[in-house]
A = this chain, B = another copy of it.
């Protein structure tokens, strides 16, 4: 029984890693040419397996992109969860640093392109759109709570919308003005975050 459980574990993890292989391939291909322009056979060769085998793990192409999106959102959730555990006085600085980090990661070439590709996919794949909207609602609530309860800021809802709009615009900025990254952008990000977590605006000069 112990043996059998071990075997189950092994085959389970083998299963899991094969699935991850496909998702990794999907991420890589999406960044290279977009998910829609990536065929299953390209996905197969990127993942190092056959076309038929991919259908052993995923019902169809849409299921693959959904899995990819969920995995990316899970990662984002972890970052926010870390934020939520914090308490005390220096929370603001830590929060600013964390957001800054997340923003800069989003301006990392790979993540940034993946982010955009996911968004484009959501536009034409209703299932992905739902996943994204649901995630957004959760995230908004979390940030609103952080802004209100932990930072004691007024107009939390508005601030969250402003933060998210700015955040979502960054990949686009990276794409359209690649030369400004990351040096010039870091300064703009700092200034924006400072504004967003300041109870009633004052600082404008870069920190």
- Could you tell me which A residues sit within 8 Å of B by CB distance? 33-34, 36-37, 113, 116-117, 119-120, 122-124, 129, 132-133, 136-137, 140, 155, 157-158, 161-162, 164-170, 172-173, 175-178, 180, 184-185, 187-188, 191-192, 195, 198-206
In contact, A37 and B124 (Cβ under 8 angstroms): yes
Taking a contact as CB atoms closer than 8 A, the residue among B123, B155, B166, B173 that contacts A113 in the complex is B123
Cβ B185 vs Cβ A161 within 8 A:
yes
**Inside 8 A of A165's CB, which chain B residues have their CB?**
166, 169-170, 172-173, 188, 192
Q: How far is the CA of A43 from the CA of B191 in the complex (A)?
A: 45
Determine whether the beta carbon of B158 is less than 8 Å from that of A188: yes
Interface of A is mostly: helix
Which residues does chain B contribute within 8 Å of A120, judged by CB atoms?
34, 116-117, 119-120, 123
Q: Point out the residue from B155, B175, B177, B187 that lies within 8 Å of A158, measured CB to CB.
A: B187
Min Cβ gap A116→B in Å is: 6
Q: A133 to chain B: closest CB distance in Å?
A: 6
| Chain B: minimal CB distance from A174 (Å) | 9
| Minimum CB–CB distance for A26 against chain B, Å | 15
Other A-B contacts than A116-B120, A129-B175, A133-B176, 13 sampled, CB-CB below 8 A, are A33-B124, A34-B123, A37-B124, A117-B120, A158-B184, A161-B177, A161-B180, A162-B191, A164-B176, A164-B177, A165-B170, A166-B169, A198-B201
- Chain B residues within an 8 Å CB radius of A155: 191, 204, 206
Which residues from chain B contact A132 at a C-beta distance below 8 Å? 175-176
Expressed in whole angstroms, the minimum distance between the Cβ of A118 and any Cβ of chain B is 10
A33 to B121 Cα, complex, angstroms = 11
Alpha-carbon gap, A146 to B192, bound state (A): 20
A205 closest partner in B (C-beta)? B200
Max count, chain B CB within 10 A of own CB: residue among A34, A157, A172, A206:
A172
State whether B161 touches A188 (Cβ < 8 A). Answer: yes
Check A162 against B133 for contact (C-beta < 8 Å): no
